[in-house]
Amino acid sequence: MSIVAARVDNRLLHGIVATQWVPRVKPQRVMVIDDEYAGDPTKKAGMRMAKPAGVALSIISEQTARDHFREGKYDDHTVFVIVRDPRIIQQLEEDGQKVPKLTIGGTVSPQDGQAATQVSRRAYVLDNEVPVYSSIAAHGTSVNIQYVPADKDEPLSKYVNL
């Protein structure tokens, strides 16, 4: 079955994801794909403390994730992928992984004059990310904005031209 949902969230795995999104998605495995966290034992250990009970947790680099998916390591799992960079989802799809739904949660504010569109109180889409989200949507993935499950689920296309 593999990827059942994905989320873009600058805080990766945190309380809202662990207590609200994981119960909603019901994955067997939460997979944080982030090179920085995967390579930092201290950050990795801190994130492991947020692991929800009853699910496996992987905190791995993009290359490791791509290799493991390509090898079929998660074919018998339901996986909830969390990333900070939507390009990782785009790359997984280009590698042949199906991602049925991508939710944009919280992102960092644009820095140093970066051009961006604010798509919710807590999320921005940088202008240079629009083609990435367009590519993701072109693979048949539903791309929506929703910080917590109680928020209205809105399509990204309401705010940017995909």
CATH number at residue 62: 3.40.35.10
Per-residue pLDDT, averaged over 56-70, amounts to: 97
Strands 116-120 and 123-126: antiparallel
pLDDT reading at 1 higher than 90: no
Predicted local distance difference test score (pLDDT) of residue 3: 98
pLDDT band at 32 (very low <50, low <70, confident <90, very high): very high
> pTM higher than 0.85, yes or no?
yes
Look up the domain containing 73 and give its range. 2-158
DSSP letter, residue 127: G
Per-residue pLDDT, averaged over 117-129, amounts to: 96
Nearest to residue 37, comparing CAs of 94, 105, 83? Answer: 83
Predicted local distance difference test score (pLDDT) of residue 16: 95
pLDDT reading at 95 higher than 90: yes
Per the structure, the count of domains in the chain is 1
Q: CB neighbours of 106 closer than 8 A, spacing ≥ 6? A: 9, 10, 11, 122, 123, 147
Per-residue pLDDT, averaged over 93-118, amounts to: 95
pLDDT band at 121 (very low <50, low <70, confident <90, very high): very high
Per-residue pLDDT, averaged over 32-48, amounts to: 97
pLDDT reading at 133 higher than 90: yes
The amino acid present at 160, given as its one-letter code, is: V
The amino acid present at 28, given as its one-letter code, is: Q
How far, in Å, CA of 36 to CA of 39, rounded? 5
Predicted local distance difference test score (pLDDT) of residue 5: 98
CA neighbours within 13 Å on the CB side: how many for 53? 0
Nearest to residue 159, comparing CAs of 104, 85, 92? Answer: 104
Nearest to residue 31, comparing CAs of 88, 79, 71? Answer: 79
Helix, strand, coil content of the chain in percent (nearest 5)? 35, 25, 40
The amino acid present at 59, given as its one-letter code, is: I
In this structure, what token pair is assigned to residue 35? Answer: 């090179």
